[in-house]
Amino acid sequence: MLIVGGTGGTGSWFAKYFKEHGFLVSIWGPSGKVEVAERLGVKFARDLMAEVAKSDVVLLSVPIKETAKVVEEVAPRMRPGSLLMDVTSLKAEPMKAMLRWAPDGVEVLGTHPMFGPTIPTIRGQTVILVPAAGRCDEWLLPMEEIFQEDGARVEVLGAEEHDRIMAVVQALTHFAYISIGSTLRSLDFDIAHSRRLMSPVYEIMIDFVGRILAQSPELYSSIQENPEAKRVREAYIEECQRLSKLADTGNSEGFMEAMRSAADHFDEREVALARSDRLISLWIDHREGKRRGLEPRW
């Protein structure tokens, strides 16, 4: 297996992962960080195209904006029977590029790991697979089994459906958290001081905002480039403005009706309440344990 972009965070994670599953892994990155390969105990591909030509699997872990260009350069050099896969967070355009440039006999599998490179294990995580119709007959099942045997939940989707769902699951969620962080900055709000006064729900939310803000701005900006995300952001902003107007005008009944309407649409409300109660209990145990100098439960 050759991982193009294997010197980055996600590429390095998969280099280690597939090495542990018996693959002979080589990595390549434009920065030429040979030390990353040495740390991982894998080969650095000094001759990229020669490595492409002899690899059974070529996995692309490059920025979304670069994916089509890298596919055009790499895919034509692949041999029949091999697999071309990517791990970008969009699928429609990368899949079109892979199908356009991969020679006949090269299989194509879009892959989206729904986690970042900081997680220690794939257990309990979701991996989305987007197999190219008629061009992923041999490799789909083996890849699916590798992830499932390690406890991952594998979902198989079409490219357009994937991007439509990710416009909410990723783009909307990240947009909301980043907008909260940006609002706190604009208010010059003292977050550290407020932690002394926080409810558990508030602090958990603040930690999730911080989690997003601690990661790559380039990655999170690229996720907003999902063609479906503009419509979703516009709907979100419109609802924020509508709710704000209801609050500003003292229309309590209108605000409550908006909340009731959203609740009617929201499935498994009681289950969500129970799950979040458990999360809050764990958070409280963690905080109190730290105060007493005990090992945290998570």
| Residues 213, 87 share a domain | no
Least reliable range by pLDDT among 92-101, 115-124, 181-190, 232-241: 115-124
**Tens-digit pLDDT profile for residues 80-93:** 999 999 999 999 99
| Residues 149, 15 share a domain | yes
Domain count, the chain: 3
Q: What is the pTM of this model?
A: 0.87
User: Which pLDDT band, with edges at 50, 70 and 90, does 297 fall under?
Assistant: low
Least reliable range by pLDDT among 76-90, 138-152, 271-285: 271-285
Domain stops at, among 123, 157, 191: 157
Segment 62-74 shows an average pLDDT of 95
Average pLDDT over the chain, rounded to whole? 94
**Residue in the block written with tokens 């692309």:** 60
| CATH code of the domain covering residue 102 | 3.40.50.720
| Residues 251, 114 share a domain | no
Please report the pLDDT score of residue 219 as a whole number.
87
| Residues 36, 48 share a domain | yes
Please name which of 52, 61, 71, 74 lies closest in space to residue 6, comparing C-alpha atoms: 61
Q: What 3-state class would DSSP assign to 261?
A: helix
Structure tokens given for 156? 């198989």
* Cβ 152 vs Cβ 21: under 8 Å: no
Domain stops at, among 114, 131, 157: 157
Segment 105-114 shows an average pLDDT of 97
| Residues 126, 52 share a domain | yes
User: Which pLDDT band, with edges at 50, 70 and 90, does 291 fall under?
Assistant: low
| Residues 152, 74 share a domain | yes
User: Which pLDDT band, with edges at 50, 70 and 90, does 110 fall under?
Assistant: very high
Domain stops at, among 157, 181, 202: 157
| Residues 94, 219 share a domain | no
| Residues 16, 149 share a domain | yes
Does residue 30 surpass a pLDDT of 80? yes
Alpha carbon distance 110, 97 (integer Å): 11
Alpha carbon distance 242, 240 (integer Å): 5
Segment 272-295 shows an average pLDDT of 80
Give, in order, the Cα–Cα distances in Å from 296 to each of 49, 182, 283, 292: 48, 31, 10, 10
Domain that holds residue 286: 268-298
Q: Which positions ≥6 away from 126 have C-beta within 8 Å?
A: 113, 114, 115, 152, 153, 154, 155
